[in-house]
């Protein structure tokens, strides 16, 4: 393991290898579960990545009452004999959860540096990471229990008693203190709970102690409520902590007041410093309560916006049934007012079982929005973020992306039967709330079903209140529900199946066979029954959900199934079962509703003669509590963890299958090879997330992208995989070759390559025919260098024109390019796209037509080699250097060296002869010189700034520099290999010297990539020149034994060039080279070797791999 891997804790235990236990230690780090044992000279090791775990269970059997089972895709591991199994298992759960979160949305682990240091007198030494994780777990339970914002951290808790004035009792419970809240919950469940935001606190004082009331603490709030706590063990310390937090809270309030100009009190009143803010604030000001509508300043198109909930403006009541229902509604309102008078009103009210009973009887329409804010905790976030929603609306106005397109598409599908959404006012409010949330949380953006839920929120809450209710719903109450893969809903679907098996066993098998549970649960959970139940009934379900949480949805879903057991057991298929459940849910009514009944979709489509018996919603909810009320929130969380592992790993497996199925027809790899390669590719991404990389992990993994592009690697990870898998990765030149191939495969120039790009290169190098392999090798060297100073202008421009020919079609006639560039011909192997202003202006239709034409011509172009740009002398030197390094570890090394020398000699002669036919008339050259240079400069400038800023990428720069520096170290060895090259004097300009190598200074320029040992090189100093005596057909070129190494800054012949056809034809003349490139490559052997190297801890970037577990001894 590298130094970046941090150990959290370790425990003594036994690992079962077969039927024999091995006593040792289990080590739990942030990213791995490891076991080590050394007994009687035998060593046992195990390494499992948390992201590979599919199941984590704590089992109890007769022989082993304490056992933890860890399952991966391919194996199961058992640990027992723990000293503290509960602590160990909780830590395992937490670390596995962090790993799943990383797979889901790249949310890696970052240590909390704000934790206070341990006192020196602390009896037990605990690592900082362990303390951090323990604090996180406690804070998560604290936030879930009291519905607090996600960034709230628990500071501490203590046992105490609370005086409850409504029943004149001291209730035993626990006080929780955090940065912004003081909370209390009774030991007896649901007896009493309390939430006191520090922004509401006015006085905290120590009261006089007595035998009846020892160590009391009094807390007073702005709405004149006083809370009396007693039996506090360390009252002085507690008062000091609360005082410190109060001072911080006061400073925050003043800061918010100065920034936004307004302060929001607990009564939702707005005191505004500037009169201009009154019209701009989404809140209802004191002076405008009676106004029906106002102009919303952020809405530049003049659409009026209601200051109230839409239901108050579009109330639909049936005149003939108005009086009795209104009377019942009035009685409900009075009951709630009496409750507020006795238990308090607002955030600081005493929350008891009576509060829940009133919710189950129905919340009055006039109080629904207020109580939803209260029970969900959204009121706290709205109060602490004044002006936040308004700013979001302003920033998101006029901006368009995929989320806004989907929002526009679904706006008119949101409660279209309600008059509030049959006009532009309601539609505009819905658009603003959904768009603002999409910009607040781009990871979610917009998901189907959000429009239905948000439209209901807008009916009963003001616009800003509806926004914060949506935040509470998506980020806290229904975590991970509304994203591209609806992971949260799938997790709860698995929980629901498990609950159905436990509570309705007689129906479970039948439902599983029909596949009904997985079908119904998604729509029920995602929309909180709003899409499957009449509106007036579904709103009551939402009331209970905001009060009790997700357990209500599970209870109600089980009650619906239990009520239809007999009919479901007689169903023959899933369609019939869905019809039964659909008709039942359509018949659920709310007789207390003051709204006229709104026909529902299922009832409109139903053609049954006899109506389905009506089911009262309140009776159904009471029945769900009576039969399934034992379901606890903590039990649901445990089941969610178990299902989350399964769901996320299933989604990962689905992604892998889709990737393999998509790409298997494009390569020569088998399905098994592709699956293993994908596992290695994904492992490389994950290990870079663990231990750092040169790019951001979020950039390399985007679940919203197509399957093939979700995981991407940068050059550092690619370099490691290149060394392990590619057959050409030999010698000291490996990193330079990896950099060249990476540039070639990176089609969009974002310094990242996806799995398809990676496999395309690997497939050509391993399973391509001779021509494909040589073509890949040629293209790796003909691609222009990132820096124009290091490239020959004419050749660089030709190569640039080839790889980016679609960018400059208008200038082809000026520089005299050949016909292939006029028609945008490509070779079909790799397309590197350059994003410029000109390309950006193309219409989407033109882009689609281009892509369609490219895909149709791709196959025929793949065999076309005539369109490849020519290789200049500097690039040819690099190609020779690459080939010599490729052969350095081959058994037939000497034969390959001699063959390469012969091919090099032949190509040198061909290049010299080619110069005779490449000379252009002076007039043409001079006339096109200025335009050519201008275009070259423009292309290189764009290439550097927009497409491939390699000079800014440290990994590439280091590799290329290292490649240049390698030449000095390898000159002597490779120079000896080059001694056997035979040369023929074919140059008509030879004056008795080696004219094919001695080039006029007038036609040359420096090239820092020039090899010092190359036979193409010629030093400018006499003592550094090669001794060429009596050059002839049979003469061998000899390096002077005492001559120093040639200077690297040497001359290049600008006119010298060869084509791919010449390179291919020359290489075919040497059987040794043909056999080398035709030699089959065993991919599975290389994959196995790569995994074995990783297991031994020798990889370049990782010490673990996909489902790796090793056992020795």
- Residues 233-263: tens digit of each pLDDT: 999 999 999 999 999 886 555 444 443 433 3
Q: Distance between CA 188 and CA 178 in Å, rounded?
A: 22
* 496 lies in some domain: yes
Comparing 237-241, 762-766, 845-849, the range with the smallest average pLDDT is: 845-849
CB of 437 within 8 A of CB of 470? yes
For the ranges 62-66, 282-286, 411-415, 799-803, which has the lowest average pLDDT? Answer: 282-286
| Domain membership of residue 238 as a residue range | 141-260
Lowest mean pLDDT among 208-212, 685-689, 983-987: 983-987
533 vs 539: CA distance, rounded Å: 9
801 belongs to a structural domain: no
Calculated CA dihedral for residues 142, 148, 151, 154, nearest 10 degrees: -30
The CATH number of whichever domain residue 598 belongs to comes to 1.10.472.80
Same domain, 224 and 97: no
What's the pLDDT at 453?
95
Query: What gap in Å lies between CA 917 and CA 1106, rounded to an integer?
Result: 56
User: What is the rounded CA–CA span in Å between residue 2 and residue 443?
Assistant: 31
Residues 6+ apart with CB under 8 A from 698: 106
**What CATH number should be reported for the domain holding residue 312?**
1.10.8.270
Residue 312 and residue 447 in one domain: yes
Is residue 818 in some structural domain? no
User: Would you call 543 exposed, middle or buried from its count of C-beta atoms within 10 A (0-12, 13-18, 19+)?
Assistant: buried
441 shares its domain with 382: yes
| In a shared domain, residues 466 and 322 | yes
- Using CB atoms within 10 Å of the CB of residue 219, give its burial: 0 to 12 exposed, 13 to 18 middle, 19+ buried: buried
The answer to whether residue 308 scores a pLDDT higher than 60 is yes
Residue 922 belongs to some domain of the structure:
no
Phi-psi region of 77 (alpha: psi -120 to 50; beta: other; left: phi over 0): beta
- What integer pLDDT is reported at residue 39 of this predicted model? 83
Pick the more confident residue, 1000 or 688.
Answer: 688
- What distance in Å separates the CA atoms of residue 609 and residue 482, rounded to the nearest whole number? 39
Indicate the pLDDT class of residue 1086, thresholds 50, 70 and 90.
confident
Cβ(1079)–Cβ(1085) below 8 Å: no
874 vs 958, higher pLDDT? 874
Mean pLDDT, rounded, for 775-782: 89
Structure confidence at residue 959 as a pLDDT band (50, 70, 90): low
- Radius of gyration of the chain, Cα coordinates, nearest whole angstrom: 37
Strands (E) in 957-1088, as ranges, are 1006-1007, 1050-1051, 1057-1058
Give the three-class secondary structure for 268: coil
Whether residue 251 is found in the same domain as residue 397: no
pLDDT-derived band at 211, boundaries 50, 70, 90: confident
Which of 33-47, 160-174, 316-330 shows the lowest per-residue confidence on average (mean pLDDT)?
316-330
Q: How confident is the model at residue 873 (pLDDT cuts 50, 70, 90)?
A: confident
900: its two tokens: 């390469």
Buried b (16+ CB within 10 A) or exposed e, 132-170: bbbbbbebeebbbebbbbeebbbbebbebbbbbeeeeeb
Give mean pLDDT, residues 374-402: 92
What percentage of the chain has pLDDT greater than the value 70?
A: 68
CA-CA-CA-CA dihedral for 457, 458, 463, 464, to nearest 10 = 0
* Whole-number pLDDT of residue 693: 56
CA 957, CA 953: separation in Å to the nearest integer? 6
| Mean pLDDT computed over every residue of the chain | 75
Same domain membership, residue 504 and residue 439 = no
Where among 611, 632, 653 does a domain terminate? 632
Q: Are residues 73 and 51 in the same domain?
A: yes
CATH number at residue 232: 2.30.29.30
CA distances for 673 relative to 668, 677, 709, 1080, angstroms: 10, 6, 19, 15
- Decide: pTM greater than 0.85: no
Q: Are residues 255 and 157 in the same domain?
A: yes
pLDDT for position 898? 92
Q: Are residues 53 and 12 both part of a single domain?
A: yes
Q: Quick check: is 539 in a domain?
A: yes
**How many angstroms separate the Cα of 727 from the Cα of each of 678, 747, 780?**
18, 22, 15
Residue where a domain terminates, one of 581, 604, 632: 632
Do 581 and 500 belong together in one domain? yes
Interval 374-386 mean pLDDT: 95
Q: Are residues 242 and 163 in the same domain?
A: yes
Number of domains within the chain = 5
Indicate whether 650 pLDDT > 80: yes
Instruction: With H, G, I as helix, E, B as strand and everything else as coil, classify residue 387.
Output: coil
Residue 779 has pLDDT above 60, yes or no: yes
Asked whether residue 766 is domain-assigned, the answer is: no
Q: Is residue 268 part of a domain?
A: no
Q: Is the pLDDT of residue 1106 over 50?
A: no
If asked whether residues 30 and 71 sit together in one domain, one would say: yes
Q: Is residue 186 scored above 50 in pLDDT? A: yes
Structure tokens at 25: 């230690």
Residue 224 Rama label (left phi>0; alpha psi -120 to 50; beta): left
The answer to the question of residue 1026 being in a domain is yes
Indicate if the pLDDT at residue 335 is higher than 80.
yes
State which of 604, 632, 660 marks the end of a domain: 632
């Amino acid at each position: 393991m590298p130094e970046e891997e941090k150990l959290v804790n370790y425990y003594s235990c036994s690992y079962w290898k077969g039927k024999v236990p091995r006593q040792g230690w289990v080590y739990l780090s942030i990213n791995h579960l490891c076991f080590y044992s050394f007994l009687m000279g035998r060593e046992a090791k195990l390494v499992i990545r948390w992201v590979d775990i599919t199941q984590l269970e704590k089992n109890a059997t007769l022989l082993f009452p304490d056992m933890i089972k860890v399952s991966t895709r391919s194996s199961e591991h058992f640990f027992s004999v723990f000293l503290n199994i509960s602590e160990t298992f909780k830590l395992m759960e937490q670390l596995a959860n962090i790993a799943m979160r990383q797979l889901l949305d790249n949310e890696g682990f970052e240590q909390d540096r704000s934790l206070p240091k341990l006192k020196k007198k602390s009896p037990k030494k605990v690592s900082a990471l362990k303390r951090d994780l323990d604090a996180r777990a406690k804070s998560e339970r604290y936030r879930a229990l009291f519905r607090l914002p996600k960034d709230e951290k628990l500071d501490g808790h203590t046992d105490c008693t609370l005086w409850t004035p409504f029943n004149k009792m001291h209730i035993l419970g626990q006080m929780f203190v955090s940065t912004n809240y003081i909370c209390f919950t009774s030991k007896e469940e649901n007896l009493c709970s309390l939430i006191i935001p520090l922004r509401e606190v006015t006085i905290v004082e120590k009261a006089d102690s007595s035998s009846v009331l020892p160590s009391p603490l009094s807390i007073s709030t702005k709405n004149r409520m006083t809370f009396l706590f007693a039996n506090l063990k360390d009252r002085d310390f507690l008062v000091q902590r609360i005082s410190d937090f109060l001072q911080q809270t006061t400073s925050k309030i003043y800061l918010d007041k100065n920034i936004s100009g307004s302060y929001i009190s607990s009564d939702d009143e707005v005191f505004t410093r500037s009169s201009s803010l009154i019209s701009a604030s989404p809140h209802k000001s004191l002076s405008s309560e009676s106004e029906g509508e106002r102009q919303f300043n952020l809405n530049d198109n003049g659409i009026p916006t209601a200051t109230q909930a839409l239901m108050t403006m579009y109330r639909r009541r049936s005149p003939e049934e108005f009086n009795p229902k209104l009377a019942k509604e009035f009685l409900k309102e009075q009951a709630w007012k009496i409750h507020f008078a006795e238990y308090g009103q607002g955030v600081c009210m005493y929350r008891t079982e009576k509060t829940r009973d009133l919710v189950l009887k129905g919340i009055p329409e006039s109080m629904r929005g207020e109580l939803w804010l209260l029970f969900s905790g959204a009121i706290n976030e709205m109060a602490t973020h004044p002006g936040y929603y308004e700013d979001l609306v302003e920033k998101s106005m006029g901006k368009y992306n995929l989320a806004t397109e989907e929002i526009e598409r679904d706006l008119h599908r949101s409660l279209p039967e309600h008059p509030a959404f049959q006009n532009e006012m309601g539609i505009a409010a819905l658009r603003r709330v959904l768009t603002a949330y999409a910009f607040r949380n781009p990871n979610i953006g917009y998901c189907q079903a959000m429009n239905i839920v948000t439209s209901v929120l807008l009916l009963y809450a003001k616009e800003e209140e509806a926004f914060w209710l949506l935040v509470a719903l998506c980020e806290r109450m229904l975590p991970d529900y509304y994203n591209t893969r609806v992971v949260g809903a799938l997790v709860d679907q698995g929980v629901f199946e498990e609950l159905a098996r436990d509570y309705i066993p007689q129906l479970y098998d039948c439902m599983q066979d029909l596949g009904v549970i997985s079908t119904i649960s998604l729509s029920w959970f995602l929309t909180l029954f709003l899409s499957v139940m009449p509106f007036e009934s579904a709103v009551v379900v939402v009331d209970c959900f905001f009060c009790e949480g997700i357990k209500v949805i599970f209870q109600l879903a089980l009650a619906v199934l239990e009520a239809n057991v007999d009919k479901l057991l007689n169903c023959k298929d899933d369609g019939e079962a869905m019809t039964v459940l659909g008709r039942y849910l359509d018949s659920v009514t709310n007789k207390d509703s003051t709204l006229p009944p709104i026909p529902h979709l299922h009832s409109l489509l139903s053609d049954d003669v006899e109506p389905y018996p009506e089911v009262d919603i309140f009776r159904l909810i009471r029945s769900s509590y009576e039969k399934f009320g034992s379901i606890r929130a903590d039990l649901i969380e445990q089941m969610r963890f178990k299902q989350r592992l399964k769901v996320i790993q299933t989604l990962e497996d689905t992604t892998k299958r889709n990737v393999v199925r998509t790409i298997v027809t494009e390569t020569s790899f088998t399905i098994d090879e592709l699956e293993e390669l994908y596992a290695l590719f994904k492992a490389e991404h994950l290990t870079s997330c663990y231990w750092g990389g040169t790019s951001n992990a979020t950039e390399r993994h985007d679940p919203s992208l197509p399957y093939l592009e979700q995981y991407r690697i940068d050059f550092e990870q690619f370099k490691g995989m290149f060394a392990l898998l590619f057959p050409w990765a030999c010698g000291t030149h490996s990193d330079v070759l990896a950099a060249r191939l990476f540039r070639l495969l990176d089609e969009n120039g974002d310094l990242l390559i996806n799995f398809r790009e990676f496999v395309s290169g690997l497939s050509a190098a391993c399973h391509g025919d001779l021509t494909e392999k040589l073509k890949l090798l040629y293209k790796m060297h003909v691609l222009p260098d990132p820096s124009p100073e290091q490239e020959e202008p004419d050749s660089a421009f030709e190569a640039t024109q080839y790889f980016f020919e679609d960018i400059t079609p208008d200038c082809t006639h000026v520089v005299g390019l050949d016909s292939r560039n006029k028609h945008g011909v490509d070779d079909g192997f790799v397309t590197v796209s350059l994003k410029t202003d000109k390309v950006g202006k193309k219409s989407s239709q033109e882009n689609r037509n281009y892509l369609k034409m490219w895909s149709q011509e791709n196959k025929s172009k793949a065999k076309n080699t005539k369109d490849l740009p020519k290789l200049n002398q500097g690039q040819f030197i690099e190609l020779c250097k690459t080939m010599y390094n490729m052969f350095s570890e081959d058994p037939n090394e000497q034969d390959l060296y001699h063959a390469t020398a012969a091919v090099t000699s032949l190509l040198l002669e061909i290049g010299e002869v080619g110069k005779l036919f490449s000379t252009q008339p002076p007039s043409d050259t001079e006339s096109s010189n200025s335009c050519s240079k201008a275009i070259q400069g423009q292309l290189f400038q764009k290439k550097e700034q927009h497409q491939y800023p390699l000079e800014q990428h440290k990994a590439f720069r280091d590799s290329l520099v290292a490649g240049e520096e390698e030449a000095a170290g390898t000159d002597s060895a490779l120079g000896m290999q080059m001694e056997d090259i035979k040369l023929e004097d074919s140059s008509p300009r030879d004056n008795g010297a080696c004219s094919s190598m001695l080039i006029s200074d007038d036609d040359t320029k420096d090239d820092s990539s020039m090899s010092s040992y190359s036979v193409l090189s010629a030093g400018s100093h006499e003592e550094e020149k090669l001794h060429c005596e009596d050059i002839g057909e049979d003469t061998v070129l000899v390096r002077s034994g005492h001559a120093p190494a040639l200077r690297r800054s040497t001359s290049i012949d600008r006119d010298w060039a060869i084509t791919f056809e010449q390179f291919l034809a020359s290489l075919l003349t040497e059987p040794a080279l043909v056999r080398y490139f035709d030699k089959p490559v065993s991919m599975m052997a290389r994959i196995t070797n790569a995994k074995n190297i990783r297991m031994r801890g020798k990889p370049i970037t990782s010490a673990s791999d996909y489902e790796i577990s090793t056992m020795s001894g």
